[in-house]
Amino acid sequence: MYTIAEFSRICKMSTRMLRHYDKEEILKPAYVNPVNGYRYYEQEQLEVALKIKKLRGYKFPLPKIKIVLQSSDQDSFVQHIQSQIIELSHEVKQNLQVISEMNEMVMVNSSLNIARHR
């Protein structure tokens, strides 16, 4: 078993995040010492921690990560990934539209500034 500090170093996740994942019931420690409250993790939990880290990198919100981790079949996992791809694609499209509008504003303001300085 690993202490929370050891587990944190191995999976490159802060102890604060591990405590948060425990509270949110996303990644519970294998054992919590009833006397001092110290959390301990097992080797097998590293895979789950790395999966959480990967899903966070894919911009999954915590409630969705919890659902993904609870789904046991591969089809369901793929479905969640595809759904996130669609959501991120939508966000990209919206952001590109905002950038385009901002560029137009810059162009208009640049034109106005040039006209004023003549």
Q: What is the pLDDT of residues 19-39, one digit of tens each?
A: 999 999 999 999 999 999 999
Residue 116 scores a pLDDT above 80: no
Average confidence (pLDDT) over 71-82: 87
Question: Are 23 and 52 spatial neighbours (Cβ–Cβ below 8 Å)?
Answer: no
pLDDT band at 73 (very low <50, low <70, confident <90, very high): confident
The total of other beta-carbon atoms located within 10 Å of residue 14's CB is 10
| pLDDT value of position 52 | 96
**1-55 adopts what CATH topology?**
Multidrug-efflux Transporter Regulator; Chain: A; Domain 2 (1.10.1660)
Domain boundaries, given as residue ranges, for the chain: 1-55, 71-118
Higher pLDDT: 27 or 72? It is 27
Q: Is 53 exposed, middle or buried (0-12, 13-18, 19+ CB in 10 A)?
A: middle
| pLDDT value of position 94 | 97
| pLDDT value of position 11 | 95
What SS3 class is residue 18?
Answer: helix
